[in-house]
Amino acid sequence: NVLADQIAAGEVIERPASIVKELVENSLDANSKRIDIIVENSGLDSIRVIDDGSGIADDDVEIAFKRHATSKITTRRDLFKVRTMGFRGEALPSIASVADVTLTTATPGSTTGSLIHIHGGELVDVKPGPARQGTDVVVRELFFNTPARLKYLKSPQTELARITDIVNRLALANPQVAFSLTHNNKELFRTAGNDNLQQVVAAIYGIQVGKKMLPFAGEDNDFKISGLVSLPELTRASRQYITITINHRYIRNFELTKAIINGYESKLMVGRYPIAVLNIQLDPVLVDVNVHPAKREVRLSKEPQLAELIAKVIRQRISTENL
């Protein structure tokens, strides 16, 4: 049902950056070790995501574009312990309903792959494709059939900044994956995928970890936290440089952001914020990601306890460094 898909797309697919996010999250769910993102004209001309993940079996390729056809949760109980990025089965059909999509994919060890082409929600072609392991999705003609959505987009620079921001966050959340982002044939950044967060921070922010960025780690009975925080002298004029992830998922959370800042006590100047990456590991039952389709907002049990742990660990780290 193309109309239902377009309506769902309204919630999940607002702009080129949302497509990048959904495609990369699918690549992460497929256990990819390498994800290359290639964008033309801020995503308006094309968005391509190539991964080396588990691929989609021939029989499932068409199904992947059907609404609520997710391979990731099977029971209601699964909803309460989501371990994957995706679980609604909405992204692919939503994207395909408002664009031209070609997906080629092959599973490990298969001698042929599949190619599927969908235009504005209508199946154009599905046939055997190259046997390269992984998935390659190309999205063109974004919002060609929803002109109102096109008009709502901001300038190309703004749309590109949003794409860069989301890819940065996904790379910071997944230092075990080698990412690259290329725009109009220019490589914007590349990470090594060697599970070294310091390398990712250097690739993204150009900051060599050592003197100015400190690694930290701590835990209590429920939470394990680790990451990097800048010294109070290395700050920025916005909170944009604070990244929080839960179980490799980039999230936004006001209380936890405040906890990081609280860890600095009064050492930050007014209007200045640290550069920080905070990775949180917890049992998925403690977090509800099913609040909004874009899944950036999460509901957390024991949030005050977690905030206290974060502030304490960062406070200790900053103060021992200033001795």
Is 86 near ligand ADP (CB under 6 A)? yes
Q: Which residue is nearest to ligand ADP (CB)?
A: 86
Q: Which span sits near Mg ion by CB under 5 A: 89-97, 162-170, 197-205, 216-224?
A: 89-97
At residue 7, φ and ψ (nearest 5 deg) are -65, -45
26 contributes a contact to Mg ion by CB under 5 A: yes
The answer to whether 32 contacts Mg ion (rule: CB under 5 A) is no
Q: Is position 20 an interface residue for ligand ADP (rule: CB under 6 A)? A: no
Identify which of residues 55 and 121 has a Cβ nearer to ligand ADP in the complex: 55
* Residue 51 touching ligand ADP (CB under 6 A): yes
Q: In whole angstroms, give the CA distance from residue 69 to residue 258.
A: 38
Q: Which amino acid, 118?
A: I
- In the bound state with Mg ion, the residue whose beta carbon lies nearer, of 73 and 311, is 73
Position among 10, 14, 34, 71 found at the interface with ligand ADP (CB under 6 A): 71
- Least distance from Mg ion to the Cβ atom of residue 22, Å: 5
Instruction: Report what 172 binds from Mg ion, ligand ADP, none; CB cut-off 5-8 Å by kind.
Output: none
Span near Mg ion by CB under 5 A; candidates 18-26, 211-219, 237-245, 252-260: 18-26
Helical axes 197-205 vs 156-173, angle rounded to 10°: 170
What are phi and psi for residue 63, nearest 5 degrees? -65, -35
Asked if 88 touches ligand ADP (CB under 6 A), the answer is yes
| 86 touches Mg ion by CB under 5 A | yes
Measured from the CB atom, the residue of 118 and 242 that comes closer to ligand ADP is 118
Residues 143 and 158: their CA atoms lie apart, in Å, by 17
Q: Which does 245 bind (CB under 5 to 8 A by kind): ligand ADP, Mg ion, none?
A: none
Find, among 289, 224, 244, the residue nearest to 72 by Cα.
289
Contact predicate 161/39, CB 8 Å? no
Q: How far apart are CA 191 and CA 173, in angstroms?
A: 12
Question: Any contact of residue 230 with ligand ADP (CB under 6 A)?
Answer: no
Q: Tell me if 175 contacts Mg ion by CB under 5 A.
A: no
Contact 101, 81 (CB under 8 A): no
Query: Is residue 54 at the binding interface for ligand ADP, with CB under 6 A as the rule?
Result: yes
Window contacting Mg ion (CB under 5 A); options: 55-63, 83-91, 266-274, 314-322: 83-91
From ligand ADP, Mg ion, none, interface partner of 257 (C-beta below 5 to 8 A by class)? none
User: If contact means CB under 5 to 8 A according to the sort of partner, which of Mg ion, ligand ADP, none does residue 273 touch?
Assistant: none
Which residues contact ligand ADP (rule: CB under 6 A)? 22, 26-27, 29-30, 51, 53-56, 64, 70-72, 86-92, 135
